[in-house]
């Protein structure tokens, strides 16, 4: 029918804000006899792809801006200096920057890991018994918070029990914190038998 393709294109333009390049591309790709819904679908697909690319570009712009802001702050604080060699720009760390690294490393050295791990219910009872020395009080407080957040219940201050799976990351953190000598974790596999986890 004469004017049918014109009608389809006009309807597509009316219902969608259409870029002329997309319209031509869709028109050429769907063919002369394509239905309005096919035309609309193809235009919509291109619009979504363009929107996705725009979001991605915007995200990249934000990351770039954060990078430039951080570099600016580091230079303003005297932690790094910008130099040029053979027409290329590069940064060097200043004495003040080296001192800042030492200071930050010192701060993070005493920092405890997060006390939230992925909680997963188990089908066996787990018993955690610990005796953390008084000089390691911060670690003991951290351990109790972890056990509570995992869903274990306190039997005594240093004895906890629950039907949970012990997260690997938690065990790794116990090793990093050098607490394995102070913590025993048992799993009750059958009635009346205990199995050492750590």
What is the tally of structural domains in the chain?
3
Residue 36 pLDDT: 60
Same domain? For 37 and 103 the reply is no
Query: Is 125 within 8 Å of 163 (Cβ atoms)?
Result: yes
State residue 14's pLDDT score: 45
Q: pTM of the predicted model, to two decimals?
A: 0.47
Euclidean distance between CA atoms 107 and 47, whole angstroms = 49
Q: For residues 127 and 168, state if they share a domain.
A: yes
**pLDDT score recorded for residue 2:** 47
Q: How far is the C-alpha of 153 from the C-alpha of 163, rounded, in Å? A: 10
Letter string b/e over residues 152-182, b meaning 16 or more CB atoms within 10 A of that residue's CB: beeeeebebbbebebeeebbebbeebebeeb
Q: Residue 24, Cα to own-chain centre: how many angstroms?
A: 41
pLDDT of residue 35: 64
59 plus 36 within the same structural domain: yes
| DSSP code per residue over 20-61 | HHHHHHHHHHH-TT--HHHHHHHHHHHHHHHHHHHHHHHHHH
- Residue 6 C-beta-side C-alpha neighbours within 13 Å: 3
CA within 13 Å, CB half, 96: 8
What pLDDT, on a 0 to 100 scale, did the predictor assign at position 19?
52
Residues of the chain below pLDDT 70 = 1-37, 39, 108-110, 190-198
Tokens of 64: 């770039």
Q: What confidence tens digit (pLDDT) does each residue in 80-133 have? A: 888 888 888 888 888 988 888 877 777 766 678 888 888 888 888 999 999 999
Range of the domain at 180: 121-196
What pLDDT, on a 0 to 100 scale, did the predictor assign at position 182?
A: 93
In a domain, 114, yes or no: no
20 lies in the same domain as 30: yes
- The pLDDT value recorded for residue 1 is 45
């Amino acid at each position: 029918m004469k004017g049918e393709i014109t009608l389809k294109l006009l309807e597509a333009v009316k219902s969608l804000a259409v870029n002329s390049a997309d319209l031509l591309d869709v028109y050429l790709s769907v063919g002369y006899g394509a239905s309005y819904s096919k035309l609309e679908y193809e235009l919509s697909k291109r619009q979504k792809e363009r929107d996705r690319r725009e979001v991605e570009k915007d995200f990249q712009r934000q990351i770039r801006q954060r990078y430039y802001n951080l570099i600016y702050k580091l230079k303003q604080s005297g932690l790094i200096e910008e130099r040029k060699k053979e027409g290329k720009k590069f940064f060097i760390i200043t004495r003040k920057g080296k001192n800042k690294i030492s200071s930050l490393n010192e701060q993070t050295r005493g920092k405890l890991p997060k006390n939230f791990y992925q909680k997963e219910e188990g089908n066996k009872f787990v018993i955690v018994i610990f005796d953390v020395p008084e000089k390691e009080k911060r670690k003991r407080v951290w351990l109790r918070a972890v056990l509570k957040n995992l869903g274990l219940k306190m039997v005594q201050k240093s004895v906890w029990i629950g039907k949970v799976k012990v997260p690997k990351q938690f065990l790794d953190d116990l090793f990093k914190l050098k607490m394995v000598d102070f913590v025993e974790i048992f799993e009750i596999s059958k009635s009346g038998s205990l199995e050492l986890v750590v």
